[in-house]
Structure 1
Amino acid sequence: MSAISAVEQALENRWEALWARVFDKEPVELLDALRRECDSNVVVCSETRTVVPNAYDVELADSVHDELTRRGSRVGQALTDSLVRHAERHGYEWAGPLTVHLTRSAHVPNGRYRVASSVMPHVSAEGFQHTST
């Protein structure tokens, strides 16, 4: 690991620890779920090109959504930034512009959150539409 990567990793760990203290453990678990979703949908196109989905839909239970957004924080942007750092560390390339969209859902199976990803080549945060399954 290079010196810059070690510094980035240390900053990432501190950021996650801060989130864990401020918001309990929910955002850290959510970050891990986003990373797992990204990692489990890797497409190796060539020896030098690994592509991952670029549109992430995070469905939050009402109580979790309220907790994460009540302070007026930009949770979606923070999650996006963390996912960008994760992809950079692994050498992933996005299938298009990256977005993480948070929605409120009363139908989240674990009562907390559900993460799904897709490839949307020309997605923008304003144009991302939540579709029910």
Structure 2
Amino acid sequence: MGALSALEQALENRWDALWARLLDKEPVEILDALRRECDDNAVVCGEGRVMVPNAYDVELPDDVHDCLTRTGTDVGQVLTDSLSRHAERRGYEFAGPLAVHVARCTDVPNGRYRVAGRVMRYVSADGFFHATH
């Protein structure tokens, strides 16, 4: 790990700690769950090439969703940025443009959150235009 990577990791750890202190431990647990989902679905495609899903859904009960979004922070973007840095440190390639979608859900199994990753095909604007017209 180079000096820049060590610095990035230290900053990431401080960000996680600050977020946990401000908003309980929930966001750090969600970040950890996202990272696990990414790691668990990594596929070795060749020497030095590891692909991971590019679309992640985070479902939260109303109270957790309200807590995370009440400051006006774009939680989906914060999670996307964090997952992107995690993948970069691990040398992963996403199967397309990365997106983390955060949504309310009334039926979360553990009562706190649910995280799922999948491969979502990239559709160019031109491809979308021709497919719909």
Given the two structures, how large is their TM-score scaled by the length of structure 2?
0.90
- Alpha-carbon contact 1:19-1:28 (below 8 Å) kept: yes
Structure 1 residues 1-133: aligned runs within 5 Å: 1-122=1-122
Q: 1:123 to 1:61 in 2, by over 3 A?
A: farther
Which structure shows the higher helix fraction?
2
What whole-Å deviation, never above 9, does each CA across 1:77-101 have from its counterpart, x for those lacking one?
Answer: 0000000000000000000000000
Q: Structure 1: where are the runs of 5+ without partners?
A: 125-133
Q: Structure 2: where are the runs of 5+ without partners?
A: 125-133
Query: In structure 1, the residue corresponding to 2:38 is in which secondary structure?
Result: helix
Q: CA deviation at 1:58?
A: 0.5
Distance of 2:67 and 2:27 partners within structure 1: 10
Structure whose CA Rg is larger: 2
RMSD: 1.2
Distance of 1:123 and 1:54 partners within structure 2: 13
- Alpha-carbon contact 1:77-1:100 (below 8 Å) kept: yes
What whole-Å deviation, never above 9, does each CA across 1:24-61 have from its counterpart, x for those lacking one?
Answer: 10000000000000000001000121000000000001
**Paired amino acid for 1:47:** E
Query: In structure 1, the residue corresponding to 2:5 is in which secondary structure?
Result: helix
Query: In structure 2, the residue corresponding to 1:56 is in which secondary structure?
Result: strand
Distance of 1:122 and 1:15 partners within structure 2: 30
Distance of 1:123 and 1:32 partners within structure 2: 29
What whole-Å deviation, never above 9, does each CA across 1:84-126 have from its counterpart, x for those lacking one?
Answer: 00000000000000000011000001111000010012169xx
**Paired amino acid for 1:98:** L
Task: Give the paired residue count.
Answer: 124
Distance of 1:58 and 1:99 partners within structure 2: 11
Identity over aligned pairs, percent: 73
